[in-house]
Every structure is written in C-alpha cells, then in structure tokens.
Amino acid sequence: MSFKRLTIAFLLAAVPASAGSIAPRDGWAVHQTSKPYEELILDVKAAAKAEGLNVVTQAGPTGAAASRGITIPGNRVIGLFNNEFAVKILALSTAAMIEAPVRMYVTEEDDGSATLSYKLPSHVLAPYADEGGAELAGLADQLDRRFALIAEQAQK
C-alpha cells in the first residue's frame, strides 16, 4: 500500500463515524433528551422494569468499533418484552413473535446528550393484523402505552 493510501486509511479510521440524529418518521417515537448516553440507557432499563417489561436483548457496535480503533457515537438497541405478552401473542399469530422483543434505541448525539427512539409496537405488529385481529391490536396498544410510559420515565 502506498504512503498516500495508508495516510488516507488512517485518517478515515480516526474520523468519528456518524450518520446523524434520528429524524422523526412514520410509526416511530423519537425523544431528544438532555441526558448523557450511559445515563439514558440505565434509565430506560429501570423504567422498563417498572412497567413490567424485561430487558431481553442488548446490542450495540460502539465497543466493538472502539476495539478496532474506530470511534463512533454511543449506540445501543435494547429489546424489551415479557412472557405474558409472548404467550398471548403466540396464541394469536405465531409469525408475529418474530418481532419480539420490541426494541428501544438509545443514540448519543454530538453534544453528549442522547436520543431515545423506537418503532411503536402497534407499527411493528401491524403486518400480522389479519392473523391476530382485534386481540393482537389490543395487545399492541397495551405495549404502545407501556413504551410511552418507559420513554416518559426515562427522560425525567
């Protein structure tokens, strides 16, 4: 590799990778906060527990990128669900369970604050309405309310 290519590769690796803030979009809730990234993650987890949902999964590329020498803003996906919803949804639509757990997304902004966003559970489960009918829509609405309460509590 030439010196020029090596220099460019080094400079690109040193530049923080970011696609910017999450913009409002159809079927999503996006909450800009003044909280630091790590604090918002902890507060989402605590609020989820208070609303009867469990943290089922967590994933984010930030740490792995850092181990490769790449700096990116904090980025964490937190999957939330519980067995009560799982059993009820499975009774209505086996296919709908591919969407569990429903996820919240915490992203770090350039100023150090964090944004909490998520697809509304009713939006996530809408493709299964033909199978699950009004009962599935009702469960999705219950999840919408819990997610809204989690977001509200986590932002305080």
> For the chain, what are the domain ranges?
3-155
The three-state secondary structure class of 19 is coil
86 CB-side CA count, 13 A: 11
Please tell me the predicted confidence (pLDDT) of residue 21: 87
User: Please, are residues 36 and 131 in contact by the beta-carbon 8 Å criterion?
Assistant: no
The reported pLDDT for the residue numbered 141 is 98
CA distance 72 to 18: 6
The pLDDT, as a whole number, for residue 12 is 42
The yes-or-no verdict on residue 116 having pLDDT over 60 is yes
pLDDT in tens, 80-115: 999 999 999 999 999 999 999 999 999 999 999 999
Pick the CATH number of 3-155 from 2.102.10.10, 1.10.240.10, 3.40.50.20, 3.30.310.70: 3.30.310.70
User: How confident is the model at residue 9, as a pLDDT?
Assistant: 42
Digit-coded pLDDT (tens) for 16-69: 445 678 999 999 999 999 999 999 999 999 999 999 999 999 999 999 999 999
Tens-place pLDDT, residues 66-85: 999 999 999 999 999 999 99
Peptide bond into 36 cis (omega under 30): no
Q: Rounded to whole angstroms, how far apart are CA atoms 7 and 135? A: 59
